[in-house]
Amino acid sequence: MKLSASIDNAMPELVAIRRDFHAHPELGLAETRTSAFVARHLEALGFEVTTGLAKTGVVGTLSCGTGSRSIGIRADMDALPIAEETGLDYASKTPGLHACGHDGHTAMLLGAARALAERKNFNGTIHLIFQPAEENAGGAKIMVDEGLFERFPCDAVFALHNEPNLPFGQFALRDGPIMAAVDEARITVHGRGGHGAEPQETADPIVCGASIVMALQTVVARNIHPMDPSVVTVGAFHAGSASNIIPERAEIVVGIRSFDPAVRDELERRIRMIAKSQAESFGMRATVDYERSYDATVNHKAETDFLRETAIRFAGADHVVDLQRPFMGSEDFAYMLKERPGSYFFLGSRVTGEEKSLHHPGYNFNDDLLPIGVAFWTELAEAYLAR
């Protein structure tokens, strides 16, 4: 069957599947309903299905011909703890929201599974990897640690993310770093609370905390090379309850992004030093709970070249761009790319310019991307495993 006809036929069902995922969002490592659906669907298509990796992860394997080459394509399945404000008739029936479009990524890969199984137009093995917990717990790393690539050897791995800030149907790719490493610091300023009218009897952690927030602005500006991209964002400041009370402590939560491992180390060193020394200068004490999260996502050259070539053939050169700069967001596909060569890219979904950005309570995945994603994954896998 011709690819486009096969995909057109399957589209009403696929849109229904995507909207069903949207109506039933599940948070990281709790994607039991989604995961069970994915497993059943793949089994019905004739895939060999393995469940239980990283709790709710699923791998669907399909071989054809005698070829020994193999490709892995990954979709993420988890939703976010955001209260939905879309007003859709298929709005979430449970707490949480598919505000990052992982419902669409999962549906796309299921659509590709159908097309690949129907056409059997490849020579080798395809592993479709449905991973949990991209947003929080690093499902990709858990799957890798549980032996993903020993059990399902992949010569190369690929993944995509929809992007409402890029034009509809645009493929945005990049050789080398494409997403940043992310870390989090929780700074607690330990003061001495008391009456708001008697500050001399207290040690005010709000004033000290405010000073720390301002001093943190100098880390990127004054300590990091101007050509090394990095971000230090104070995303939360919790302290106090009323104007006549000086609280006992203040908590500052900082998000840190970088690419270069040496820069990452320097950011941590400076943030710890500023918190500690600023607090000391106020006669207080600060403790820092510093947690390293995802590493940077770094694409491999040969696989990015193959991706670009396939995308240009698929969509035309005017729909394929090489990103001049990486994004400062983060992605745990990083850990698959540390184990196997591959490439991660963005697929634009902006039509009107009014689209809500990822992680916005009004965000909804654009279903018009489904046939593009399905056809592209199918073509990429078939091209990689060409007869």
Single out the segment in contact with Zn ion by CB under 5 A; choices: 6-14, 53-61, 95-103, 110-118.
Answer: 95-103
Vertex 144: Cα angle to 304 and 162 (nearest 5) = 45
Q: Which is nearer to Zn ion, 100 or 337 (CB)?
A: 100
Vertex 18: Cα angle to 12 and 21 (nearest 5) = 140
Gap between the Cα atoms of 386 and 282, Å rounded: 67
Q: Which is nearer to Zn ion, 84 or 382 (CB)?
A: 84
Single out the segment in contact with Zn ion by CB under 5 A; choices: 52-60, 97-105, 149-157, 221-229.
Answer: 97-105
Give the residue carrying structure tokens 């720390």.
Answer: 212
Gap between the Cα atoms of 78 and 352, Å rounded: 27
What are the strands, taking DSSP E only, across the chain?
48-53, 57-64, 70-76, 124-131, 156-167, 171-173, 176-179, 181-190, 194-195, 230-239, 245-246, 249-258, 285-292, 297-299, 320-322, 342-350
- Residues in a beta bridge with 126: 62, 71
Residue of 26, 31, 76, 78 marked catalytic: 78
Q: Report the nearest approach of Zn ion to the CB of residue 82 (Å).
A: 10
Q: Report the nearest approach of Zn ion to the CB of residue 228 (Å).
A: 25
Q: Which is nearer to Zn ion, 39 or 133 (CB)?
A: 133
Q: Which is nearer to Zn ion, 100 or 224 (CB)?
A: 100
Q: Report the nearest approach of Zn ion to the CB of residue 76 (Å).
A: 6
Token couple for 307: 């991706």
Single out the segment in contact with Zn ion by CB under 5 A; choices: 100-108, 144-152, 303-311, 315-323.
Answer: 100-108
Q: Report the nearest approach of Zn ion to the CB of residue 102 (Å).
A: 6
Q: Report the nearest approach of Zn ion to the CB of residue 342 (Å).
A: 17
> x/- string (CB under 5 A) for Zn ion, residues 207-236?
------------------------------
- Residue 185 sits in the site that holds Zn ion (CB under 5 A): no
| CA neighbor of 287 nearest in space, from 233, 201, 208, 182 | 208
Q: Which is nearer to Zn ion, 294 or 384 (CB)?
A: 294
> Virtual CA dihedral for 83, 89, 90, 91, nearest 10 degrees?
0
Query: Residue from 38, 79, 82, 100 that binds Zn ion (CB under 5 A)?
Result: 100
Q: Report the nearest approach of Zn ion to the CB of residue 240 (Å).
A: 31
Instruction: Say how many Å lie between the first and final Cα of the chain, rounded.
Output: 17
Single out the segment in contact with Zn ion by CB under 5 A; choices: 96-104, 109-117, 144-152, 284-292.
Answer: 96-104
> Virtual CA dihedral for 157, 165, 371, 133, nearest 10 degrees?
50
> Virtual CA dihedral for 13, 19, 25, 30, nearest 10 degrees?
10
Q: Report the nearest approach of Zn ion to the CB of residue 167 (Å).
A: 19
Residue of 31, 134, 183, 295 marked catalytic: 134
Q: Which is nearer to Zn ion, 282 or 333 (CB)?
A: 333
Q: Is 379 a catalytic residue?
A: no
Q: Which residue minimizes CB distance to Zn ion?
A: 100
Give the residue carrying structure tokens 């990689």.
Answer: 384
# residues near Zn ion by CB under 5 A = 1
Helix (H, G, I), strand (E, B) or coil at 34: helix
Q: Is 134 a catalytic residue?
A: yes
Do 306 and 264 meet the contact criterion of CB atoms below 8 Å apart?
no
Single-letter code of the amino acid located at 206: I
Q: List active site positions.
A: 78, 134
Question: Which residues here bind Zn ion, judged by CB under 5 A?
Answer: 100
